[in-house]
Amino acid sequence: MDAVGAIIDWHLAGRDSKSGREPIEQSGSPFLLRSGGKMITCVVDYQIDRTREAQFERFCRLWLELTPKFGGVHHGYFLPSDGPSDRALALFSFDSLADYERYRVEAATDERVIAANRLRDTEAGVIRWDRSFFRPLLP
């Protein structure tokens, strides 16, 4: 294994029950063991209505629970703090683009996912959202 792979494995130590790998806790957060593919991280950039932050947080908490169900690792939501910002970010990763695409297919018919997306579209104050993909370069 190369040095970068070893670093990624160190950062992503753990396993996911969906793929049959045993879950491991690390600092209270579940992580995935890299499957040898090219890990992909999705960054979702939201513009939100700050008067509906409580509803948006409810939406976020749903996805924090849902993402691991489909084999992903959710790195959290980053919400506006002080000042006039109306941006929030979400970051989550999959072992590969193929795993991400599999998640998209499986999630499309999941009742909790459908309900979470309905909440996003109706009550959570999401004005717009964009999705971008990155490959992590870790220390």
Residues 6+ apart with CB under 8 A from 110: 66, 69, 70
Third-level CATH fold of 36-134 = Alpha-Beta Plaits (3.30.70)
Q: 52, 123 in Cβ contact below 8 A?
A: yes
| pLDDT tens profile 124-136 | 999 999 999 998 8
How confident is the model at residue 24, as a pLDDT? 34
Kindly tell me if the per-residue pLDDT of 10 is higher than 50: no
CA distance 127 to 43: 17
Kindly tell me if the per-residue pLDDT of 4 is higher than 50: no
Q: Maximum distance among all alpha carbons in the chain? A: 49
| pLDDT tens profile 59-103 | 999 999 999 999 999 999 999 998 889 999 999 999 999 999 999
